[in-house]
Amino acid sequence: MEAATERHFFHHGASEPTGAKTSARALEKEKENCHWCQIRSFPTHKQYPITIVNEVDDATVPSTFRFLQYSKLGAGVQAAEDSFRTGCECTDIKECQYSGCLCLQEQEEDSDDEGLTRKKVYMYHMHGAKAGLLRSKFLKSMRPIYECHDGCACAENCPNRVVERGRKVPLQIFRTEKTGWGVRSLVDIKKGQFVDKYVGEIITPQEAQRRRNASIIAKRKDVYLFALDKFTDKNSPDVRLRGPPLEIDGEFMSGPTRFINHSCDPNLRIFARVGDHADKHIHDIAMFALRDIPKGEELTFDYVDGVSEENDDAKDKSKQGDMGCCISRPDADVYPHPSNTGSTRINPAAVSVPREHSPANTYATQTSSGRRRARHSSMPLDKHINKPLRRHEWSSKGRAWTRTALDRERGDFFDTRVTGRPEVWQSLRAALEVLWDPVGQGAAADGTGGLATAQGILDAAEITLPTGDLAQGAYDQLGNYYPLPEWLVADPANLVEDDAATEGADETLSARDLKDDLAGGDETTEELDEEDNVRRREEKGKAVVNARDQLSVLARLSETARDVTVHFVKSDPVRVVARKIQEQSGLASTKKVRIAYMGKILKENLSLTEQGWHEGHVVNALVFDR
């Protein structure tokens, strides 16, 4: 390492004359600013070190730069509250594959499947020499990666925790001949292997624009902004995903991937990676190997990966020289990081292409209407496989289903959906109701027994069916998966007639279970009378309440994502609290509110505290039509 870099890394007061009184705080500050000390503090440094070498000139990494292992949340950026966090409850690999694990997105039928269970596909290989590598079909698709995380019950060695476990590759930042700093691996990297994340300071779009403007004023050539726009959608039920996305700035603080250069023939690709689904707005940017990479080869990714078809010249190798691409640019002695024209976006449907520019040659910035280019298929990558809707046929083998039981459980199923987009669940329900009863839904005249009408509902909501069978799940336009059990999709061929004895033997409901079922559905006369009595006592001011029993709760409405705070008595049943939420939020009388807490619909005849709620925790107010 050259003398300048040695001085930069190993000074720490060593050059002070003998007897000099160096401030302890000044020495500590110097260690904080030392790149070597920052890198050495990484927990995995001994096993997977990061090194820096320069055998070309006397340049050093800017002294103002700070190495980070994880992204830092800037001012005005917040992660989801703990009460909104979720994780799978799987305890082993088999359970993750066969149960309702929320962290896995794609399903396929198992060879021994009888219609009751389905095997879920990991995005990573699970066994053999390829264990932990991203599967080829996902490596090409650029779909978001959903992983288990520290909030899940599964073990740390879960096959679905590759990015979660962190970098497993020793990297070296080195000085290149023509493109400034670059990065290479000191070991061979396999195709599909996770390399590292792009980290930095996560900032608001307003702060990102301010920094962009400041860069223009200061005439700084490079801007290191990545837009976290993979899930941006103006119609999203999550208000954090509707507007301009947050951005990661790696200019002054980041990891080694900040120094990775662009190439039109890259060996890495970036993916949006989601751990906790409540934090999609601050998802990770993960880099995976597109092919086998021998040790010592410079790591690169394509800044223009995902341009729209309107800008295919950026991918035309015969025109790259004219456009100033890569080392063919006249200013190729400076390494080509994103310019102040914009930020790098990773949303396949909304890609902004940042580049160094000159008045004569500038890469066009993609807009949200830009369509992804398909390089390996005639189908654009933002288009999902969608086959025509077909009827599902099945026979029940483990239960004697009656019409009453089927109708009740179907209603309970839709009333208890707390993940996914509400409008998608509503569309799925509408389509299924047509299939259940085409005559009652006015679809008998479409000539297909309701299939055409149901297909129209799904198409209007941009819901796709990879197999055409709703029992094998559906996807929304954002790639979110919606599993649907077969008893929800269609009646079994061996549906039995309603009979009190059969129903009782089949359901084996205790009196308390039956009461709870009623409490979760339509209120009984006795319960309505009780609620009316409480309301009348409140209106007349005659309700005697101990001040210590007065509580308040913040409820987040599923319909508008608006928060309301209501006051209630500790002993009030959930039904009363839900009614207060409905009144204070101004919902129409045709709406009904059900309260969910920690991922479960609460029983309406019990109080919040009886069901585990703690003061200060947020609850979800799920809004339904009566």
The backbone region for 433, taken as left when phi is positive above 0, alpha when psi lies in -120 to 50, beta otherwise, is alpha
| 303 in active site | yes
Q: Each residue of 393-409: pLDDT tens digit?
A: 988 877 788 988 888 88
Q: Provide mean pLDDT across the span 561-570.
A: 85
Q: Each residue of 443-488: pLDDT tens digit?
A: 877 788 889 889 989 988 889 998 889 998 888 888 788 889 888 9
| Confidence bin at 290 (pLDDT 50/70/90) | very high
Please tell me the predicted confidence (pLDDT) of residue 274: 87
Q: Each residue of 164-201: pLDDT tens digit?
A: 999 999 999 999 988 889 999 999 999 999 999 999 99
Share of the chain above pLDDT 70, in %: 67
CA distance 48 to 170: 4
Instruction: Indicate if the pLDDT at residue 299 is higher than 90.
Output: yes
CATH assignment, 543-625: 3.10.20.90
Catalytic residue among 124, 224, 303, 482: 303
Is the Cβ–Cβ distance between 499 and 402 less than 8 Å? yes
Q: Each residue of 578-619: pLDDT tens digit?
A: 999 988 888 888 888 888 887 678 888 899 988 888 888 888
Please tell me the predicted confidence (pLDDT) of residue 194: 95
Of 29-43, 242-256, 287-301, 520-534, minimum mean pLDDT range:
520-534
Instruction: Indicate if the pLDDT at residue 150 is higher than 90.
Output: no
| 482 in active site | no
**Which residues have a Cβ under 8 Å from the Cβ of 616 and sit 6 or more positions away?**
none
Please tell me the predicted confidence (pLDDT) of residue 223: 67
The closest alpha carbon to 272, from 237, 228, 226, 337, belongs to 228
CA distance 173 to 199: 16
Of 58-67, 352-361, 610-619, minimum mean pLDDT range:
352-361
| Terminal C-alpha separation, the chain | 73
User: Looking at the chain, which residues constitute the CATH 3.10.20.90 domain(s)?
Assistant: 543-625
| 497 burial via Cβ count (<10 Å: 0-12, 13-18, 19+) | exposed
194 DSSP β-pair partners: 288
Please tell me the predicted confidence (pLDDT) of residue 337: 41
**Which pairs from 358-366 meet CB under 8 Å and 24+ separation?**
358/324, 358/331, 361/322, 361/323, 361/324, 363/304, 363/311, 363/314, 363/323, 364/310, 364/311, 365/341, 366/307, 366/308, 366/311
Please tell me the predicted confidence (pLDDT) of residue 78: 85
Is the Cβ–Cβ distance between 266 and 301 less than 8 Å? yes
Q: Each residue of 90-111: pLDDT tens digit?
A: 777 666 666 666 676 544 444 4
DSSP 354: -
CA distance 473 to 470: 5
Please tell me the predicted confidence (pLDDT) of residue 330: 39
CA distance 115 to 118: 7
Pairing of strands 201-203, 300-301: unpaired
Pairing of strands 268-274, 284-289: antiparallel
CA distance 286 to 271: 5
DSSP 344: E
Instruction: Indicate if the pLDDT at residue 318 is higher than 50.
Output: no
Sign of the CA dihedral with 147 first, then 153, 159, and 163 last? positive
Catalytic residue among 122, 124, 146, 198: 198
